[in-house]
Amino acid sequence: MIKDLSFKGDGVNSFLICRILHRYRFKNGKSMEFSLLQGYFYRMISQQPRVVFFQGEPGAYSDLAASRMLPGIPRQGFLQFSQAFEALLQETGPAAGVFPIENSIYGSVHPVFDLLQTYDFHITGEFRLRIEHCLLANSGASAETVKTVYSHPQALGQCEVFFRNHPSMKPVQWYDTAGSARYVSENPADLSIAAIASEEAARVYGLEVLKRNIESFDHNFTRFILIGKEAGIPAGSNKTSVWFEAKDEPGSLYHCIGCFASRNINLLKIESRPVWGKPWKHLFYLDIRGTVTDSSVQEALRQLTGFTEVQRVLGSYPEDQVKEGHGFSL
């Protein structure tokens, strides 16, 4: 039983403390629901984010992730990732951002990786959300009346089997899952259109759920990151994200990776992206096991400077231990 929870919280880091404690039991031995547990700890801190920014419309999966990560905090969505990042930069009060970084089927979300190289933000947490796609339409529509289905390109791709089994439905790309639901709701008399989005989006826009769980694979999860302006190492951290630009010389990437391998530091992810403003140059993003307070990680980062043009630690934070992803209950 945890008896002392004295800490200085900034709203973002308070979430991370909740993350490492979410498996503890409360109330006569019964597990408190995850979001309620977060709220319990939020009441113990002096400062919270005034707003959390995300990309998308209300009811988007990013909105759902933000509501679970920072319950009770006002949320504001934007059409583009860049607009949400800029809003976080310009916000003068305590604020946070929640953004998807990778999907278990479609891989990395490249716009977010690219923005991380241009904004001096810090990753302070992560959250795996189970993605459950629904076919949404106006009242009176049915699977037989629907001819056109709108959604984000990734959502359409994740429902490939569904479209194969319903050849009369034509998939059409839209900028956002919840945005496609909003578009359908703005045309209430049209029973030939539908959207693929979350069940929460159906509630937000007053649509009917024609079919649930139409994604092609059950193991469809998206990992979201929590970012903020302030650096810090939350309690319970066990994962670190870094990026670097390797020197343009033979074996440089090999030596960069060797800085971690030689110290038995587990490499969890590696991703390459073009360097903005430097044609044919690439940054490498790494997720590693451990934190910047570990002596082995400190040594590896010091050695890494000899093989890189530039490098930056994006943050150390607790890994989400729920491998199968959190669901979302209405």
Q: Is 53 a catalytic site residue? A: no
Residue-wise pLDDT for 213-272, tens only, equals 999 998 899 999 999 998 888 889 999 999 999 999 999 999 999 999 999 999 999 999
Residue-wise pLDDT for 165-221, tens only, equals 999 999 999 999 999 999 999 999 999 999 999 999 999 999 999 999 999 998 899
Domains 12-130+220-228 and 134-212 agree in fold = yes
CATH code of the domain occupying 12-130+220-228: 3.40.190.10
pTM over 0.75: yes
Q: Which entry of 78, 224, 284, 307 is annotated as an active-site residue?
A: 224
Say whether domain 239-313 belongs to CATH 3.30.70.260: yes
- Label each residue of the chain as H, E or C: CCCCCCCCCCCHHHHHHHHHHCCCCECCCECCCHHHHHHHHHCCCCCCCCEEEEECCCCCHHHHHHHHHCCCCCEEEECCHHHHHHHHHHCCCCEEEEEEEEECCCEECHHHHHHHCCCCCEEEEEEEEECCCEEEECCCCCCCCCCEEEECHHHHHHCHHHHHHCCCCEEEECCCHHHHHHHHHCCCCCCCEEEEECHHHHHHHCCEEEEECCCCCCCCEEEEEEEECCCCCCCCCCEEEEEEEECCCCCHHHHHHHHHHCCCCCEEEEEEEECCCCCCCEEEEEEEECCCCCHHHHHHHHHHHHHEEEEEEEEEECCCCCCCCECCCC
Q: Which entry of 177, 222, 240, 308 is annotated as an active-site residue?
A: 222
**Hey, where are the domains in the chain?**
12-130+220-228, 134-212, 239-313
Q: Is 222 a catalytic site residue? A: yes
Fold of 134-212: D-Maltodextrin-Binding Protein; domain 2 (3.40.190)
